[in-house]
Amino acid sequence: MRCRCKPGIYAGNTFDFNIIHHERGATVSTFINSAITNSGRLLIAKSYLGERMNFTRIVMGDGYLPEGISPRDMTDVVHAVVVVPITKMKINADETVIIGGVFSNADIQTEFFYRELALFAEGADGVEVLYCYGNAGDFAERITPMGGSAVIEKAIDIVTAIGTTDNVTATIIRTTTADAIAYNDSISGLGAESLQEAIEILARSGSDVLNIHMADTDAHGIRESLAAHNNSAESHTDLRVLLAELKSKVQRMEDMLVYNITGNPFMVTFEDLTGVVVSGVWNQTMARVEF
């Protein structure tokens, strides 16, 4: 199980038996003891049998791990301080799940040491149990209320095994802080520092994509359609008539110069049939007689 930090103006956690915290310019909790609890492992086993599993909440606490007790044996946090609502869930292909929540020190009145991190879940019976648990011991981070220090915002992503990806859900609660962090993520992910800069980057990107698309002559099947159009006997009628006239004039010149025709040369263009008697079907558009 691990809890990882989203980059930005807030902190996060990483835990997977060796838990590492990353927070710019601050000392953060390092969870030296963590595990999926026995109750969590039982839920995993039941999920293989088709029972549903629903993640319910994240809890931060300040209690020490009881002496002689391992994280796997824990059934609750020692001393809960803050309940962090779950704001996201993502199921991965490797039978793990990311459960995310957001903590802000605006929600607390008294400072505490961020020593415990827990994820709770319930099975088909609706009974909530401690699913996984981490404890930082003496490596806990000191969290002060917002009035006594700078604002602290932590995006907490807990990545934990779930056994099977079927029938896994979470109780999702939208929060203003979570929406703000998602907003900041969207902007910083574009390499921008402001909304206006993000808009400009998106505009340039969209323009580049459009230019590439417009330069592709086959983007809409134009190449094939153009070839079919050019090969059609019904296309470019005016050009075909002009070409026929030019060919006829060239042929007359060849007759006069090469074959020395000196009698009564004449030319019929079939643009109209005045004074002409023919057999066949007159194609007025193409100025020809078809047989």
For the cut 50, the answer to whether the pLDDT of residue 225 exceeds it is yes
Q: What is the pLDDT of residue 13?
A: 36
Q: Which amino acid is at 265?
A: P
270-291 pLDDT, tens digit each: 677 777 777 777 777 767 777 7
Tell me if 89 sits within 8 A of 97, measured CB to CB. Answer: yes
Buried b (16+ CB within 10 A) or exposed e, 160-199: bebbbeeebebeeeebebbeebeebeebeeeebeeeeebe
Please provide the distance, in angstroms rounded to a whole number, between the alpha carbons at the two ends of the chain: 84
Compute the average pLDDT of residues 11-29: 41
Q: Which amino acid is at 38?
A: N
Q: What is the pLDDT of residue 101?
A: 85
Question: Which pTM was predicted?
Answer: 0.57
Q: What is the pLDDT of residue 217?
A: 63
251-270 pLDDT, tens digit each: 666 665 555 656 665 666 66
pLDDT mean across residues, the chain: 75
170-201 pLDDT, tens digit each: 888 766 555 555 555 555 565 655 556 666 77
Residue 22 CA, chain-centre distance (Å), reads 25
Q: How far apart are CA 112 and CA 4, in angstroms?
A: 21
Asked which of 12-21, 60-69, 235-244 is least confident by mean pLDDT, the reply is 12-21
For residue 54, the cross-strand partners are 122, 169
Q: How far apart are CA 54 and CA 167, in angstroms?
A: 8
Domain boundaries, the chain: 2-173, 236-290
Q: Which residue has the tokens 């002496």?
A: 67
Residues 6+ apart with CB under 8 A from 117: 3, 13, 15, 29, 31, 34, 58, 59, 60, 61, 133, 134, 135, 156, 158
